[in-house]
Amino acid sequence: MPASQPIDFNLFTFAKRELSHSAFWPWVLQSLCPGCPPNLEAIRPLAKNLLQRLGAANFDVTEVRTEYCATGSPKSGRMDVVAFGRERKVVLIEHKVGALPVHQQLERYRRALEGQLFHVEAAAIVSCGIVQPLSDTDARWIGPRSLRTIIAAYRDCHPFVSMYADWLDERVRSWDEATNLIISGQQAVRPSPLAGPEGQWGYMELVAKQLIRERVVAASALQQSNGTSRGRPWTQLRFFNGSGDFDALFYRVDVPLDIEFTLKQYQKPAKPGKDRRLDALREMFSEAVRKCGASFSGLKPRKRSKKVQNEARIATVSLTKVAPSTLIKELPAVHAAFVQQLREHHWPIGDAN
């Protein structure tokens, strides 16, 4: 039985890019191909378990390719993993490490394969990152916790499998630790989980789930995304996409100077009257905070730029002064009061928002 290695000496700790991790599961699936050497036969039960989770338990793998272009042209997109079987059947896997799971990408690749007369037995996003959809019940998405379940009974079948399982354990442990710190009731202090992309994503997911749980917004109305600005990570939760002259609205966690939770408006290109709408939005949100008696009543926007910006702050809450858990508890009532005022001011924002 292979001994567990310290995580600092784990191969996958050094493999930080998606392409590196995309090599692991093709290697596992390849153990089912004809001509597999005897020393890799112990991996086959793990490969079969993955296929079962993908909904392709009876799929016979004859070949595995990575970075596959269905049309022969990179312009159609490079598919991370395609397992080929008999009678032009295929299994498609898109692998994610830190990027967001995008089901539209998966469906685009499925159509490209079907356009080449392949039958797609199963297609899924396999993510060993901590980022996950608001609903983790989607069969097209296999996250790190599910991967741990798939691999659990086979982690000692090969040293590489053992290292991958250890690395997954550490990823999940770190995410759980960050989440527990965030909801512990303490203000965010540096170094804080909220200063990194994992903690920000986990926190915004908690915000989203609380809004959904309190029934002030529908899951279908929320769009969570992340990125970087000047090298610093941010995560945002959009609840209104904008319409006509009305700006898109979203919450964001980032670290420009302090660890901040902001409400922002966005419109590109900025249309006439955006500054007036910004003033109105600031007043409406401040009134919602006052009405609900929220503890973050001291929130203040940044000074306005002389030039009309595509993106502007409506309100800012410092998460070093307000406990992140307090904001999660109090935001649903404030959000509901804010949305009600938007409707009274004829914003086309539906019940789902």
Residue 345 in contact with residue 210, Cβ under 8 Å? no
Distance separating alpha carbons of residues 199 and 19, to the nearest angstrom: 24
Domain ranges across the chain: 7-174, 185-344
SS3 29: helix
State the pTM of this model: 0.68
Q: In this structure, is the dihedral angle defined by the CA atoms of residues 205, 209, 215 and 219, taken in order, positive or negative?
A: positive
Residue 202 in contact with residue 183, Cβ under 8 Å? no
Tens of pLDDT along the chain (353 residues) come to: 444 556 677 777 666 566 666 789 999 999 999 999 999 999 999 999 999 999 999 999 999 999 999 877 666 688 999 999 999 999 999 988 766 566 678 888 999 999 999 999 999 988 877 555 544 445 678 888 889 999 999 999 999 999 999 988 888 887 777 777 777 755 555 557 788 877 888 888 889 989 999 999 988 888 888 888 888 889 999 999 988 788 999 999 998 878 899 999 988 766 677 788 899 999 999 999 999 999 887 676 656 566 657 888 999 999 888 888 899 999 999 999 999 999 999 999 876 56
Distance separating alpha carbons of residues 86 and 102, to the nearest angstrom: 28
